[in-house]
Amino acid sequence: MHSLVVIAKSIIFTNLLITKPTKMKKYFSFMNLKTLGLFVGYCFLIICFSACTKTNDSSPQITYSNIAGINATESGLFDFYINNSRAGNGLNPGDVVGYFSVLPTTNTVTFNVASTSSYVATSNLDCTAGSFYSAFLGDGGSIVTAEDDRTAPQTGKARIRFVNMSTYLTGPIDFGATGGSKIITGIPPKSPTIYFEVDPAMTSISGYNAGTSTPLFSIPVSMQAGNVYVFYVAGTTNGTLTGKLLKQL
């Protein structure tokens, strides 16, 4: 079958050489109708023969990894790079860029001061095929990376994880619905939590010093059933503490 494809291609090439184009334009050559008819016929033969040989194609198919970048700082504009290629520029606090498909190997993520070559932080991320990851830039020039769970939550629920990116909150903190029970306790800084299934009717999230009942902050949120979220905290002082809810799915 392979030899038939080679013969057909040879016939086409020969006919194109001996048939002089009737008109020329820059970048294009126009064949006469007779040559065009032969060309179409031979192309049909090649397509048919090639279709037969495709079943023997054992080339491996790559399943990519996926990376998103998040500016989780109190303030500042930053550019996001993956393997020295700029993936997002001028990210404001709370901005997300991605996901970007990358090879399932060790990839380097970097945040630069916007429109400069001055990097703020860089980190290596070991990626697995088919997985999704987030790279958070936090206050103090730190990067936190986490693998994301993008499977749908239970019916009627939302899924959420938390991460403390603040340099002011240096001890463990708790998270919970404002005026309600705590969802997770004792989370150290720069440590993303696991995901939790929650009632999407929750309208506000509070953060507490671990083991206390007086909120450090309370942030209005709006969630929908079936979606997946991350809630991060930023701030360098008590007066600038803030939180933001981001949708991941």
Chain-centroid distance, C-alpha 220: 26
| Residue matched to tokens 């065009």 | 36
Tokens of 142: 């730190």
pLDDT tens across 146-196, in order? 999 999 999 999 999 999 999 999 999 999 999 889 999 999 999 999 999
Q: What is the DSSP string of 26-67?
A: TTEEE--HHHHHHHHHHHHHHHHHHHHHGGG--PPPPPPEEE
pLDDT band at 57 (very low <50, low <70, confident <90, very high): low
202 contacts: CB under 8 Å, gap ≥ 6:
177, 180, 221, 223
Residues 16-45 have pLDDT tens digits of 333 333 332 222 222 333 333 444 444 444
Sheet containing strand 106-113, edge to edge, reads 85-91, 78-82, 106-113, 119-126
What mean pLDDT comes out for the span 48-72?
A: 73
Token output for 34: 């007779």
Q: Percent of the chain beyond pLDDT 70?
A: 76
pTM: 0.75
Each residue of 197-230: pLDDT tens digit?
Answer: 999 999 999 999 999 999 999 999 999 999 999 9
Q: For residues 7 and 17, what is the distance between their CA atoms, to the nearest angstrom?
A: 16
- Contact status, residue 229 vs residue 193, Cβ threshold 8 Å: no
CB proximity list for 178: less than 8 A, separation 6 or greater: 203, 204, 205, 206, 215, 218
State mean pLDDT over 101-117: 96
